[in-house]
Structure formats: structure tokens, C-alpha cells
Amino acid sequence: MKCLHLSKPVKILTLSAMLILIGCQGLPPRQSPGDHAPSIGKGELKRAGPDSNYRKFAPRVKNNNEIEIHMLPVGGGMCQVVNCPGNNNPAPLLIDCGASAGSLGANDLSKADAVARTQALLGGRVTTVVLSHSDSDHNNYIPDVFPNVNQVGTLWVGSQFNRYPVAVQTWINDVAAAGIVVRRNFPAGWSNNGNAVLELACGSARTFVLTVNSDVGANDGSMMLSIDHGDTHMIFPGDATKKAQDWAMVNFPNPLLRSDLVAMSHHGADSHGSNDDDWAFATEPRYLFASAGVSYYHPRCDSGQRYINAGRVLAAPIHAYKCGYSGYWSAQSTTATAIYNTEDVGEVVITATDDPATIRVTCSGLACSY
């Protein structure tokens, strides 16, 4: 089956047309990653203070073969900017951008600062935008990030449209009215038959939809993404629950989900089966990330431990990390494993070439990986 190329933009296609356009077989399915020797050793990293966020972030020039992921410290929410590998400054990806009111900790950005930081990272470039699901803490900053909808190249929308905040629904409709491609209303468990999605390509890296709309609940409907840059594999699951994780595992059987970098589902929650043993052992991350503020005692200690039990999470310099249980925080305040929460360490930046041995993690400008 050949991929179709349209000479004019399409606003919103019918389901059958969408499946023809983006269900093409032009790229090979996701490949199983190889194993890589873990790092060893210990070091120290002092906790970043409240003035150590992006205003003092050390500048660094990304080379063309690197993927660069910025996980912004937005409190109880999510905002992830992906600068893609390739020549000629390829279009970046923005995966969610929003936060819950009252969830900010000492290292978290205000809404105004988060919007400004996101805009600075995007640099006015036309951007591929993915909204994983309808919860406002994943999308309520989006209209402020893109007051000019023509900066949006393509928009992909997970879960049910009518559950999105009214302001975001209006913005999505404005994007469609501008003649920009909007993909939404996916069939349950859609995964493009396991093939990379051309419209979501991140420069020379391939993007896969692991599942979307696995059930009618907002979190159950999360669009779960995987980005593969050569042998470097990373997963962005939104607020996936067990229903979504299980569907992803059906779409991409073991060992296809095994990844180097994994963002924890639902800010590290352990409710409704998020981050359960099956998912932890299917993904087997080497580096683990959470975007959580001071609400709900996220990430949960049990969630992180499940991934550690899977056996591949690496050692890392000692850095700030706290986790919680139902109704209280653990006494733990640091960790020497490669698990990071934005509220503890500020903005997390991950860079890597197509060789996972080159993965580098910095936290508010300070090295926090070997």
C-alpha cells in the first residue's frame, strides 16, 4: 500500500479517508531494541533551587543527529517539547502543555513562564502538536502557546473531543477552520497497524501511536506515543490507565515496547492500573521520568519501584527525588537511580543520538546522568 500525498491541506477527514491517508505502509513496523550495558557508579547533585529553572538554563547547541526532549516543570501537568533530529531544522513536536491550578512546587514554572519557555523552545517554528487526552492539565496552556494557529503544522487529538475544556475546543476548531490538518475521533485502540505515522515523524526519527481511545474515559483514551531515533526508543503515555497500557501491549507485543526512556503514565499514579507490573516489565526502561507537582502525592513510590524491579533502570548521580503513598509523602528525598520528577529537579532535558549509549540527562542545567 502506498502513502498518499495531498496537494492541499485537509481540515478533518472522514474515518475511512483518514485510515487510507495515515494507515499507509511506507515505513517498517517498530523494531525490538537491543540490550545495552548499564552504567555504574555514584555521584552527587544538589537539589536545584527555585531560581534555577529556565532563566538560568545553560545554553547548548543540539547537533543534527540528536533528538532533544524538554520536560518542563509545570507542576501537576505535562508539557513536553521535542526538538527533532535531521538537517534543515525539522519541525518540533509539542506533546501536551497544561497544568492544574494549585499544584506548583518550588521548582515549577508559573503559567506565564511555562508558556514563555515553550514558545522560546519552539522558536516560532511550525509545530506538530499532539494532545494526548482531554484533561485540562495536559492542554489548558495550548491556546496561549499558539495564539496564532498558523504556527500549528498538524494537530492530533486523543480521547473524546467533547470532554476538552471549552477554550481548547474553540482553539481546536480554529485550527481546523484555518485549513490545518486535525486528526481526531480515532477508532478504539487505533495504532496504524503497528506502522510509523508519517504525519507525526520527528525529523529523521519515527513516531508510533501505541494506542488511542482504548476506552471512553479521558485517561483510558490517552494517545500513547513512541518515538524511535535509530536504536534509541522513548515512550510518552499521557495519562494511560491499565486499559490503555494493555491495549498498547496487544498492538505491540513483547519485546517491541522495550525502551530506553519512559515517561511514567499519569504523572506516576498507581490508580486504575497505571504503571502496573505488566507495563513496567513490558517497557523495561533505563531512564524513568515523571511530571508531577505537589498534588496527589505523585509520583507514587510503588509505581517507580515496579520499573526498578523490571531490572534495567540505571544508576545515576544522587539527586532530589520524592515519592508518595496514599495520603502522605515518603521520607525519601533523594535517589541514586535514573528516575526523575520535574517538581524535584526542575526542567529535565534529554539528548541522544540514534545510539542509546549517548543518552544525556540534565536537570535545570546540571548533569544528572552518567
Residue 101: its pLDDT value, please?
Answer: 87
pLDDT at 235: 98
> 45-49, 160-164, 304-308, 315-319: lowest mean pLDDT where?
45-49
Q: How far, in Å, CA of 360 to CA of 357, rounded?
A: 9
- Say what the pLDDT of residue 31 is: 72
Predicted local confidence at residue 33, as pLDDT: 56
Report the pLDDT averaged over residues 17-46: 44
pLDDT score of 174: 98
Q: Give me the CATH number covering residue 278.
A: 3.60.15.10
Is pLDDT above 50 for 296?
Answer: yes
pLDDT at residue 289 in the model:
98
Alpha-carbon distance of 189 to 209, in angstroms, equals 9
Flag whether 43 is in a domain. no
244, burial (CB in 10 Å: exposed 0-12, middle 13-18, buried 19+): buried
Does residue 13 form part of some domain? Answer: no
Which domain does 250 fall in, by range?
Answer: 50-58+65-353
Residue 36 has what pLDDT? 40
- Mean pLDDT for the stretch of residues 151-175: 98
21: in domain: no
- 200/53: higher pLDDT: 200
Q: Is residue 187 part of a domain?
A: yes
Residue-wise pLDDT tens digits, 324-347? 999 999 999 999 999 999 999 999
Q: Name the residue among 3, 11, 27 with its Cα closest to residue 184.
A: 11
Q: Which residues contact 321 (CB under 8 A, 6 or more apart)?
A: 332, 333, 334, 335, 339, 340, 341, 344, 345
103-158: pLDDT as tens digits? 898 889 999 999 999 999 999 999 999 999 999 999 999 999 999 999 999 999 99
Least Cα distance to 203 among 45, 315, 69 occurs for 69
Answer yes or no: is 308 within a domain: yes
Which pLDDT does position 243 carry in this prediction? 98
**Closest C-alpha among 227, 186, 219 to residue 68:** 227
Q: Identify whether 365 is part of a domain.
A: no
pLDDT (average), residues 206-219: 97
The CA-based angle 294-308-132, given to 5 degrees, is: 55
Q: What is the pTM of this model?
A: 0.87
Mean pLDDT of 287-302: 96
Please provide the average confidence, as pLDDT, over all residues in the chain: 87
**CB-based contact 33:233 (threshold 8 Å):** yes
pLDDT band at 6 (very low <50, low <70, confident <90, very high): very low
Query: Is 364 domain-assigned?
Result: no
Q: In which band, very low, low, confident or very high, does the pLDDT at 169 lie, cut at 50, 70 and 90? A: very high
pLDDT for residue 59: 53
Query: C-alpha angle with apex 352: 350 to 355, nearest 5 degrees?
Result: 150
pLDDT (mean) for 14-43: 45
Per-residue pLDDT for 232 more than 70?
A: yes
281 within domain boundaries: yes
- Span 295-302, mean pLDDT? 96
Percent of residues, the chain, with pLDDT higher than 70: 85
Confidence (pLDDT) at 34: 54
The number of domains in the chain is 1
What pLDDT, in 10s, does the model give residues 55-78?
344 456 789 999 999 999 999 999
